[in-house]
C-alpha cells in the first residue's frame, strides 16, 4: 500500500454500526461511509508528517509548534485502513497523520503566492535595470510579455 492510496473517512458524516465499531482498536463497521470532502467541508487541513524515533520525532514535534496536532482516535477522522498505534495516533511507515486549521493553510498559501509573485517582479525589474545599464533597451511591451499571468 502507498500513502496516496489512503483516504480519510469522515466519521461524523458516516453512519457507524455501534455494536461492531471499536474506535480505540481502529475497527469500524459502516452502514454508510463518507470521506472527507464528500458530505461536509472539513475545518482541517490533513497531511502526513515524518515521524521517526531516530531523530526523536523532531519533524512532528516541530509541526505541533506550528499549530498542527496529531489525528487520534478521539477525532472524527480515520485514515482508512490504518489502525491507531498505542498512543492513539495514526502512523503509517515513517509518517504520522496530522491536522491543522484549514484557514491557516489557506493564509499560508496566499502568503507564499504573494511572495512568489513579488520575487518575480523584483527579478524582472533587476533584469531590466542590468540590461539598461549594459545599453540594451527593453521595451515596455517586451517587459509586459515577461510579466507572469494574473499580475
Secondary structure E strands in the chain: 7-10, 15-16, 30-32, 44-50, 69-70, 77-80, 91-92, 95-101
In this prediction the pTM is 0.72
Number of H helices and number of E strands within the chain?
3, 8
Question: What tens digit of pLDDT does each residue of 104-123 get?
Answer: 888 888 888 888 777 777 77
Domain ranges of the chain: 3-101, 106-146
CA 120 to CA 114: how far, in whole Å?
10
The residue among 115 and 97 whose pLDDT is bigger is 97
For residue 41, the model assigns a pLDDT of: 84
CA quadruple 79, 51, 3, 64: dihedral, nearest 10: 60
For residue 17, the model assigns a pLDDT of: 95
pLDDT band at 89 (very low <50, low <70, confident <90, very high): very high
Amino acid at each position: 500500500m502507498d500513502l496516496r492510496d489512503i483516504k480519510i473517512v469522515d466519521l461524523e458524516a458516516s453512519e457507524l454500526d455501534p455494536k461492531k465499531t471499536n474506535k480505540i482498536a481502529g475497527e469500524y463497521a459502516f452502514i454508510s461511509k463518507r470521506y472527507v470532502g464528500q458530505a461536509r467541508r472539513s475545518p482541517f487541513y490533513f497531511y502526513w508528517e515524518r515521524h521517526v524515533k531516530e531523530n526523536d520525532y523532531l519533524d512532528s514535534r516541530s509541526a505541533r509548534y506550528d499549530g498542527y496536532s496529531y489525528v487520534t482516535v478521539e477525532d472524527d477522522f480515520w485514515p482508512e485502513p490504518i489502525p491507531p498505534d498505542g498512543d492513539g495516533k495514526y502512523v503509517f511507515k515513517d509518517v504520522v497523520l496530522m491536522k491543522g486549521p484549514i484557514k491557516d493553510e489557506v493564509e499560508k498559501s496566499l502568503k507564499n503566492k504573494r511572495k512568489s509573485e513579488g520575487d518575480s517582479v523584483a527579478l524582472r525589474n533587476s533584469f531590466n535595470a542590468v540590461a539598461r545599464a549594459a545599453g540594451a533597451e527593453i521595451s515596455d511591451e517586451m517587459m509586459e510579455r515577461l510579466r507572469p499571468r494574473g499580475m
